[in-house]
A and B are shown apart, each in its own frame.
Chain A
């Protein structure tokens, strides 16, 4: 696990003075240094090492944050952004202490929906559940792309960390659908990135329609885990909601066939999303907490989403989908199509949570801990990855929890072994397993996302020096005093 550096962050100014300043900026009721209030922010669901923050602040507007950033930069006090703390990577654990900026409580407004160019302008604290409710009630013809995550995960956090979603086969990661950002950089300047960059005053809400074609400064913030500035607004693309949305399920009997099936279905260009999960996940969702594997039973199940404007369009898409399944079968691959709706009715209606996102997927929330190796993976390595990771789960006597996706019509894949565990009994053992999974997957070229610091440490050994030098130079330039979420990516 990551060993945090012991540093005194109150060298330049004492803690009492910092508290006074924070109260001055945010108001007394929005600042806390009580241990009971700090404690829930000191660790997350993963096995990442805990650390207490010194303060929590709840901002209401960017002006407060400009003042905070200037003050913290002057006095070298860490700032850690927080939305709901639901990430599976220790990303909001304040490794060097400092101030947690909790965006989730007041900076959580949906500022604007542009129906014409289909985007939503959001404050950082907006959650998936909140956005879905807002769209369903006010813009029922529009939808967002939701992840396999609880309803109260943050939309902006997921987008700027390139999370998955239920349109991934079509559009790729959430990071690909960001139109624009408003950020506060270390000197307290407010910067707008994307097509909203024109104008000296506040941006016109109708101006957040594209990320390109100017130099792409968004790359200075996307996937940086809050290390380069504070994001205060984000515009994300919305999508037309089609009237027909159906699910096709497949059971797959051999793990080594999963890669090909995933790639072939993805390439048909007729599905919005394909998610593949080990059969153990399906059993867990049916209410079996620790499922056993039986000989001859299928190994994986896939669920593909087909959407259409008309019945004819749906039929055409389904025909293409079924043709590819037939072709796969003819190659001798053992798969069976099943009617997902009937399957759900037969086994457990809660299985609907796998497709009716955002939802709480029961299997993920069984215990007190959850961790993963969430990664972007080269599609041609899926077979090898699956087999090796399966062996590791077996070695540790843990039911296989493997989740995959085909991204952007199979240009690449998502490969996610997930581990549910008892945080207070089994943390050390689980960490060992996750380390072994990490080593195996890094060796096969996977790139983890929402990465904890102990994992980036391993990655650094494999990344080329040129990339690392540039990365360090940019970080130094963007945050010379290292106040923004220090410790991430071992900075």
Chain B
């Protein structure tokens, strides 16, 4: 067996590529649904673009059968790491396929760099602490606007996409937390580094993670809530991998909503008379195992006509934004969302809702570009439009 560079974060996953996978192709389609599930394979078709092909690429570059060159980039980076392959695969390595792809990317970055434009993610984050090249917001203005304290029980970790691109989602979350009388505050955030981890550019991740943890500690918070599925997945799964511990309880907004509804504290006072379909964000669904919680919330909204898309929950078709695809392959990224919206059309819904600002961005871009005529809203934005009361 080949020796794998011990300094690589993903060493164990690269080794796993030699121990598992016979390339049976089960990863290519939803298990037992027999529906296409891999955006990368469906688009580029050659075996190298499917999960099993990527595992072979790992073997090839490590045992010297494949030489590093730019020719390898698309096969390695043109994949939103949505994890549909993990769900389809039934072999013992199934849960680690995305880890294997990310480890391959980590290795690739060392040899050939990331895909085109993906390097900007880390360059910008180093300069401005966010991947959008926006001046860093220390969130002090928001704290003033919402009259937030320095010390609190909760921290709302906004995340870069909500803070710099999907501010309506951010504001809806802030409004909700305020109206719900949650004792919360904000921190001067650094990017959670999800976009860098997904693209194999991990040099700053640990430092940024530690920084965020320190900032959270300074507030005395024991609970952290985020409205971003990407941040949630990173805090929940990746911090541990980087050896960064925390002792606060992590929430996604949908989890808090569900908790409040279940305890009978949140009571809706107005109706939402629209047909809504839910798009499962990969980072919340397949990567974190949360499928029913948001659905339970939608279904409690009075007047709502909640409908499912053909591919839902663990079989959901990705929005195409993740894994560095949005910046590395922007046209294809929107094509993936277009396919999702075509599926949403079949349901008769007028609202496509999700629980992730990155999904919201890409679905909105496709909605606009292809004139699909939907309203794209986050769950929390729908809640924000409603009248409700909270029992204390």
Residues of A within 8 A of B (CB): 30, 32, 34-37, 39-42, 44-45, 56, 58, 84-86, 102, 105-106, 127, 129-130, 132-133, 150-153, 289, 359-360, 362, 364-370, 422-425
Q: List 21 A-B contacts (CB under 8 A).
A: A35-B67, A36-B57, A36-B66, A37-B47, A37-B75, A39-B48, A39-B56, A39-B65, A39-B66, A40-B53, A40-B57, A42-B65, A45-B22, A45-B24, A56-B46, A85-B23, A86-B23, A133-B34, A367-B20, A369-B22, A424-B18
Complex: chain A residue closest to B76, CB-CB: A36
Q: In whole Å, how far is B60's beta carbon from the nearest beta carbon of chain A?
A: 5
CB contacts (< 8 Å) of A42 on chain B: these are 65
Residues of B within 8 A of A (CB): 1, 18-26, 28-29, 31-35, 45-48, 52-53, 56-57, 59-60, 63, 65-67, 69, 71-72, 75-76, 90-92
Complex: chain B residue closest to A133, CB-CB: B34
Q: In whole Å, how far is A187's beta carbon from the nearest beta carbon of chain B?
A: 29
Q: In whole Å, how far is B65's beta carbon from the nearest beta carbon of chain A?
A: 6
Quick check: B23 and A44 within 8 Å, CB to CB?
yes
Quick check: B92 and A366 within 8 Å, CB to CB?
yes
CB contacts (< 8 Å) of B47 on chain A: these are 37, 40-41, 56, 85, 102
Quick check: A40 and B90 within 8 Å, CB to CB?
no
Complex: chain B residue closest to A52, CB-CB: B65
Instruction: Tell me the interface secondary structure of chain A in the complex.
Output: loop
CB contacts (< 8 Å) of A364 on chain B: these are 22, 24
Given A36-B75, A37-B75, A368-B20 in contact, is the A152-B66 Cβ separation under 8 Å? no
Q: In whole Å, how far is B291's beta carbon from the nearest beta carbon of chain A?
A: 20
CA distance A364 to B20 in the complex (A): 11
Q: In whole Å, how far is A348's beta carbon from the nearest beta carbon of chain B?
A: 13
Quick check: B22 and A105 within 8 Å, CB to CB?
no
CB contacts (< 8 Å) of A133 on chain B: these are 33-35
CB contacts (< 8 Å) of B56 on chain A: these are 39-40
Q: A86-B23, A102-B47, A365-B26 are in contact. List 8 more A-B contacts (CB 8 A).
A: A36-B48, A36-B76, A85-B23, A86-B24, A105-B45, A151-B26, A152-B24, A152-B26
Q: In whole Å, how far is A317's beta carbon from the nearest beta carbon of chain B?
A: 28
Quick check: A129 and B19 within 8 Å, CB to CB?
no
Quick check: B24 and A37 within 8 Å, CB to CB?
no
Quick check: A370 and B22 within 8 Å, CB to CB?
yes
CA distance A388 to B62 in the complex (A): 40
Indicate which residue in A35, A41, A152 contacts B71 across the interface (CB closer than 8 Å): A35
Quick check: B22 and A367 within 8 Å, CB to CB?
yes
Q: In whole Å, how far is B363's beta carbon from the nearest beta carbon of chain A?
A: 26
CB contacts (< 8 Å) of B71 on chain A: these are 34-36
CA distance A191 to B210 in the complex (A): 68
CB contacts (< 8 Å) of A30 on chain B: these are 45
CB contacts (< 8 Å) of B69 on chain A: these are 35
Quick check: A367 and B31 within 8 Å, CB to CB?
no
Given A36-B57, A39-B65, A133-B34 in contact, is the A422-B48 Cβ separation under 8 Å? no
Q: In whole Å, how far is A434's beta carbon from the nearest beta carbon of chain B?
A: 16
Q: In whole Å, how far is A357's beta carbon from the nearest beta carbon of chain B?
A: 11
Quick check: A424 and B90 within 8 Å, CB to CB?
no
CA distance A368 to B92 in the complex (A): 11
Q: In whole Å, how far is B116's beta carbon from the nearest beta carbon of chain A?
A: 16
Given A39-B56, A152-B28, A360-B26 in contact, is the A368-B75 Cβ separation under 8 Å? no
Given A39-B65, A40-B47, A152-B29 in contact, is the A362-B23 Cβ separation under 8 Å? no
Q: In whole Å, how far is A419's beta carbon from the nearest beta carbon of chain B?
A: 12
| Leading 7 A-B pairs by shortest Cβ distance | A152-B25, A45-B22, A40-B47, A129-B34, A133-B34, A360-B90, A150-B24
CB contacts (< 8 Å) of B57 on chain A: these are 36, 39-40
Given A58-B45, A151-B29, A425-B1 in contact, is the A40-B23 Cβ separation under 8 Å? yes
CA distance A153 to B24 in the complex (A): 8
Q: In whole Å, how far is B18's beta carbon from the nearest beta carbon of chain A?
A: 4
CA distance A41 to B60 in the complex (A): 12
CA distance A41 to B45 in the complex (A): 13
CA distance A108 to B24 in the complex (A): 17
Given A56-B46, A84-B25, A152-B29 in contact, is the A39-B60 Cβ separation under 8 Å? yes
Complex: chain B residue closest to A129, CB-CB: B34
Quick check: B48 and A360 within 8 Å, CB to CB?
no
CB contacts (< 8 Å) of B52 on chain A: these are 40
CB contacts (< 8 Å) of B48 on chain A: these are 34, 36-37, 39-40
Complex: chain B residue closest to A425, CB-CB: B1
CB contacts (< 8 Å) of A127 on chain B: these are 25, 34
CA distance A289 to B22 in the complex (A): 16
Q: In whole Å, how far is A481's beta carbon from the nearest beta carbon of chain B?
A: 27
Complex: chain B residue closest to A424, CB-CB: B18
Complex: chain B residue closest to A88, CB-CB: B22
Q: In whole Å, how far is B334's beta carbon from the nearest beta carbon of chain A?
A: 18
Quick check: B1 and A424 within 8 Å, CB to CB?
yes
CA distance A56 to B56 in the complex (A): 16
CB contacts (< 8 Å) of B90 on chain A: these are 360, 362, 365
CB contacts (< 8 Å) of B32 on chain A: these are 151, 359
CA distance A151 to B56 in the complex (A): 21
CB contacts (< 8 Å) of A289 on chain B: these are 92
Quick check: A150 and B25 within 8 Å, CB to CB?
yes
Q: In whole Å, how far is B51's beta carbon from the nearest beta carbon of chain A?
A: 11
CB contacts (< 8 Å) of A359 on chain B: these are 32
CA distance A40 to B60 in the complex (A): 9
Complex: chain A residue closest to B71, CB-CB: A34
CA distance A130 to B26 in the complex (A): 12
Q: In whole Å, how far is B69's beta carbon from the nearest beta carbon of chain A?
A: 8
CB contacts (< 8 Å) of A365 on chain B: these are 22, 24, 26, 90-92
Complex: chain B residue closest to A104, CB-CB: B25
